[in-house]
Amino acid sequence: MNLSYWIEMIMSGVVTGTCYAMIGAGLSLIWGTLKMVNLAHGEYYMLGSYFLWTLLTVGNMPLIPAIIISIVGVVIFAAAVHFAAIRPLLRKPGWNMSPWILTLGLQILLQNLALKIWGELYRNVPYFWNTVFKPWNMFTMSGQRIIILTSTAVIILALMTVIKKTRLGRAIIATSQDGEYAMMMGINIKQIYFITYTISAGLAAVAGILLCPVYSVNPWMGATVQTKGLVVCILGGLGNIEGAIIAGILMGIVESIAVSAIGSEWRDAIAYIFLLGVLYMKPSGLFGKKKGV
Amino acid sequence: MLKVDSVNAFYGDVQTLFDVSMEIRENEIVTILGSNGAGKTTLIKTICNLLPIRSGSIYYKEERIDKVPPYKRVDLGMSLVPEGRRLFPDMSVMDNLLLGAYSLRDKKQIQENLEWVISLFPWLSERSKQSAGTLSGGEQQMCAIARGLMIRPQLVIFDEPSLGLAPVIVDQIFETLSKITRENNSTILLIEQNAQTALEISDRGYVLENGHVVLEGSSDTLLGSPEIQKSYLGL
Amino acid sequence: MQNIYKLILLRKKQIAFVSAAAALLTLIAMPFVVTKIYYIHVLILCMMFSCITSAWNLIAGYAGVFSFGFQALFGTGAYVSALLSIHFGWSPWITMWMGAAAAMAVGALVAIPSLKLKELPYICIATLCMGEIIRLIASNFPELTRGELGLSQIPKLFQDNIKVKSYYLMLVILVVTLMIVVKIVHSPMGMSLKAMRDSQEASESLGINIAGTKIRIYMVGAFIAGFTGAFYAHYMNILTPTSVLGTALMTQYVAMCLIGGIGTIAGPILGSFTITASLELLRKLEDYRLIIYALLIIVTIIFLRDGIWGTFKSLIIARAEKHQNRNIKKETIV
């Protein structure tokens, strides 16, 4: 195993990792503000991919409009789910297991709806950019991976700016740290819940769109990514966006190395084991939870 | 300005407020006294609609507000400095203050209010980037007050501002409270266990016990009353 | 009206006993009334799910350990019993017990670390992970389990293949399961469970060994699930990891328990029977099975959180108590 093999493996891990970071960041936001673990988060990732595939294949749309419409489509769908299922549940507080069970139900519903609508065949989406680069002649990197890396970098930077520097970002953090008092500052936390939920779903959809040419589209892709999202979320520290980013990249690299060592049929098991490890060894994350979450 | 009329409130099946009525008029400082569990914080929650009332009504400037959602309170000019400070611990002092002004859109106005608030607590500007969770108890309280004042409210509710603070700081804080009423033309509703200092700066007071209003009157009367002296002043 | 409620509260034990006896007699009589073998099969499945859901209800609804990897215990019982009887030629009547014991061991392995986690969502996540890892182990070692190809030709319980015999066996298992559940719920352990449900700190201060109690309950539940799984293995004669270890199974027992009523004794059984029967009889909807389960879960958790039986129970209790004076203590109702 030479240097270029290692570099490619790590680069591939980093690239996938940034997508995991986006998914984990979204999960973290939802967990922080709404205080619920969104088990159905992976399904928005899946839906992003499926929308794109459908628009490209059946709708015959050019790439960029298809991407935009897919993202918007998932966001609108998430908004609908929010109003139909999440809001009514939030209106009836009391049992601490209900959000978990609700999102579990949503996950199963969406996964099986996808299975019914699109069937069990694995689908393929072509690479967005069909070139391969050889940086410094040391390793190869596909154009797709470059697109993914730049897109995620831009999006993550934008997300962090919003969270840290804008009025909305402050409101989101306030809601996640002390929702009751946040209301007394004039923050309409129901609105914050809605915004957080839909933005997070959008992030997951983007990740799905970026990764589907690499990994192919199938109804179960959401469930596998969900575990990884949970790892990132918990490892990064609940509510901690920068933590999620680092944890995401870490997850990507670990997965990349492990898969080349053990074989891809254990890919999911690796994620599960990693998640268990995180839960037992560092439940408050690498960087500690933000208080109040 | 604020009128609470025969309010009854419950936590689940347990009644916590029994036919509570009180009135706070413009530019007054009114104190609500009571020991732990008397219902003071419940009363605040009902005024802010963080806890729905079973019966009765709450009026603010002649309008009923008991059904108005909590986040609209600031628009009405009402601000709460809650018990235990409740600063957002991982956010900076400046971010906490800016959050206080969340409901304001005009950047100039926010800047002006910020300057006013800093004039009350000058140390805030040097420590603006410090994480709020690392401030001392007294500093946190002052920061919380500053945050509550960022909208230049007409009615400020202070829930046990002296809790857990050294007497010197408490005096400082109460001095600031009087200053605010004068400078800003605010009305203040003060919840306190520290009866002496609270009554000294207020105009009138109510005493809550087990969810009932048991005593009310001007501060001088209350300070002089034997029950108060016995129960709350330890005399 | 007042008298009916008084009657209910005072005689609830008798009412429960009589209704249970009536239900039991109905089930015993079923094979004589029902002619189509297919319906017997459906009833067997109903009873099987009743056992699984009752066991899960015991650990989740009563002990508060919301395990989403419980299906692994069912599957472990199934696979262990099947493999032992295949490779060693032992009779299923013996290997079933061994399968259940294996499930109990796995249950302990799952429960002990899980209870170290402090927060409820973490326990859910951990048990889900463990369940999936177990499934993947079964799936990825085809030399042992034949993986997704299916482990077939599992020895039968009744050589003559008469389904009705399996029916009565399952009925016995169900009755025993319920006896265990009732015994636990009404026992000192059960009382401490109720205390735990209401307040963790309070019961800790009373000196009840919480973790120990939870683990013991978990192992009982695991045993029941494992035994049921072993029965399933020898009844269906074929196993795949997805069918006995997969999350589809989890969806089903969660949905059934939820709809029937978590935290009650009759709830899981009610849920199991209604859902299994309805879905088996609406065969046309086979493709939509999981979608329907999911929708049921969503609608129930939002609107009917205590399930059918749970809501009914609390309504009756609430009405009855209104008509009673305050001195009557609340006791556990079936």
- Quick one: closest CA in A to B77, which residue? A186
- Tell me the pLDDT tens digit for each residue of C2-61: 566 666 666 777 888 888 889 898 888 888 888 888 888 889 999 999 999 999 999 888
pLDDT at A125 over 70: yes
Note whether A89 and C301 are within 8 A (CB).
Answer: yes
**From the centroid of its chain, how far is CA C18?**
23
- Quick one: closest CA in C to A110, which residue? C291
Q: Which domain holds residue A113?
A: 3-281
- CB pair distance less than 8 Å for C133 and A269: yes
Instruction: Give the integer Cα–Cα distance in Å for C81 and C101.
Output: 10
| The predicted structure's pLDDT at residue C289 | 85
| The predicted structure's pLDDT at residue C37 | 85
**From the centroid of its chain, how far is CA C322?**
33
Tokens 């008084």, located at residue = C6
Q: Is A64 part of a structural domain of the chain?
A: yes
Answer with the residue of higher pLDDT: A6 or A44: A44
Which of B50, B90, B91 comes nearest A180 by C-beta?
Answer: B50
Note whether B190 and B159 are within 8 A (CB).
Answer: no
Q: What's the ipTM?
A: 0.87
Size of interface A-B (CB pairs under 8 A): 68
What distance in Å separates residue A236's CA from the closest CA in chain C? 15
Q: Is A82 part of a structural domain of the chain?
A: yes
- CB pair distance less than 8 Å for B98 and A170: yes
Note whether A290 and A176 are within 8 A (CB).
Answer: yes
List the single range of B62-76, B128-142, B214-228, C134-148 with lowest mean pLDDT: B214-228
Which of A173, A186, A290 comes nearest B103 by C-beta?
Answer: A186
| The predicted structure's pLDDT at residue C324 | 64
| The predicted structure's pLDDT at residue A72 | 96
pLDDT at C197 over 80: no
Average pLDDT taken over every residue of chain A: 88
Instruction: Give the integer Cα–Cα distance in Å for B17 and B51.
Output: 11
pLDDT at C208 over 70: no
Instruction: Give contacts of A98 with chain C, Cβ < 8 Å.
Output: 301, 305
Q: Is A136 part of a structural domain of the chain?
A: yes
- CB pair distance less than 8 Å for B86 and A181: yes
DSSP C324: S
Note whether A56 and A66 are within 8 A (CB).
Answer: yes
| The predicted structure's pLDDT at residue C209 | 67
φ/ψ region of A119 (left if φ > 0, alpha if ψ in -120 to 50, else beta) reads left
Instruction: Give the integer Cα–Cα distance in Å for C68 and C56.
Output: 9
Average pLDDT taken over every residue of chain C: 84
Note whether A38 and A52 are within 8 A (CB).
Answer: no
pLDDT at B76 over 90: no
- CB pair distance less than 8 Å for A85 and C120: no
B106–chain A Cβ distance below 8 A for any pair:
no
Instruction: Give contacts of B73 with chain A, Cβ < 8 Å.
Output: 184, 186
Q: How sure is the predictor about C329, in pLDDT bands with cuts at 50, 70 and 90?
A: very low
Q: Is A292 part of a structural domain of the chain?
A: no
Chains in touch with C (3+ beta-carbon pairs under 8 Å) read A
First to last CA, chain B: 34
DSSP letter string, B67-99: TS-GGGHHHHTEEEE-TT----TTSBHHHHHHH
Answer with the residue of higher pLDDT: B232 or C23: C23
Which of B71, B133, B151 comes nearest A183 by C-beta?
Answer: B71
Query: Chain C residues contacting A, CB < 8 Å?
Result: 66, 68, 113, 116-122, 124-126, 129-130, 132-133, 136-137, 140, 247, 251, 254, 258, 287-288, 290-291, 293-295, 297-298, 301-303, 305
Over residues A233-247, mean pLDDT: 86
| The predicted structure's pLDDT at residue C176 | 93
Instruction: Give the integer Cα–Cα distance in Å for A135 and A153.
Output: 19
User: B63-64 and B78-81 as β-strands: parallel, antiparallel, unpaired?
Assistant: unpaired
Instruction: Give the integer Cα–Cα distance in Å for A20 and A22.
Output: 5
Buried b (16+ CB within 10 A) or exposed e, B95-120: bbbbbbbbbbeeeeebeebbebbbeb
Q: Is A286 part of a structural domain of the chain?
A: no
Instruction: Give the integer Cα–Cα distance in Å for B44 and B16.
Output: 12
DSSP A132: E
Residue whose C-alpha is closest to residue A211's, from A124, A139, A132: A124
Q: Which domain holds residue C151?
A: 2-333
A86, A101, A107, A273: which to substitute to probe chain C, counting the most C Cβ within 10 Å? A101
Note whether B155 and B186 are within 8 A (CB).
Answer: yes
Q: What is the count of structural domains for chain C?
A: 1
- Tell me the pLDDT tens digit for each residue of B21-53: 888 888 888 988 888 777 888 888 888 888 888
Note whether A139 and A209 are within 8 A (CB).
Answer: no
Tokens for B178, please give them.
């009087």
| The predicted structure's pLDDT at residue A26 | 94
List the single range of A266-270, B76-80, C38-42, C70-74 with lowest mean pLDDT: A266-270
Instruction: Give the integer Cα–Cα distance in Å for A114 and B34.
Output: 60
Q: How sure is the predictor about A71, in pLDDT bands with cuts at 50, 70 and 90?
A: very high
Answer with the residue of higher pLDDT: A228 or B172: A228
| The predicted structure's pLDDT at residue C80 | 93
| The predicted structure's pLDDT at residue C307 | 87
| The predicted structure's pLDDT at residue C178 | 92
| The predicted structure's pLDDT at residue C199 | 60
Residue whose C-alpha is closest to residue B193's, from B233, B230, B156: B233
- CB pair distance less than 8 Å for C297 and A227: no
Instruction: Give contacts of C125 with chain A, Cβ < 8 Å.
Output: 37, 230, 275, 279
Tokens 């120990």, located at residue = C212
Kindly report the number of other CB atoms within 10 A of residue B233's CB atom: 15
Average pLDDT taken over every residue of chain B: 85
Q: How sure is the predictor about A114, in pLDDT bands with cuts at 50, 70 and 90?
A: very high
pLDDT at A290 over 60: no
Chains C and B touch (3+ CB pairs under 8 A): no
Answer with the residue of higher pLDDT: B209 or C284: B209
Chains in touch with B (3+ beta-carbon pairs under 8 Å) read A
| The predicted structure's pLDDT at residue A293 | 33
pLDDT at A136 over 80: no
Q: What is the count of structural domains for chain A?
A: 1
Instruction: Give the integer Cα–Cα distance in Å for C11 and B69.
Output: 47
Highest averaged pLDDT of the listed ranges A108-122, B170-184, B221-235: A108-122
CATH at residue A197: 1.10.3470
Q: How sure is the predictor about A289, in pLDDT bands with cuts at 50, 70 and 90?
A: low
pLDDT at C200 over 70: no
Q: Is the dihedral of CA A185, A190, A195, A200 positive or negative?
A: positive
Note whether A39 and C298 are within 8 A (CB).
Answer: no
- Tell me the pLDDT tens digit for each residue of B80-114: 998 888 888 888 899 999 998 898 888 898 999 89
Which residues lie closer than 8 Å to A12 by C-beta, 6 or more apart?
A145, A252, A256
- Tell me the pLDDT tens digit for each residue of C300-313: 999 988 888 888 88
Kindly report the number of other CB atoms within 10 A of residue A206's CB atom: 25
Q: Is A255 part of a structural domain of the chain?
A: yes
Over residues A277-288, mean pLDDT: 77
Over residues A128-148, mean pLDDT: 80
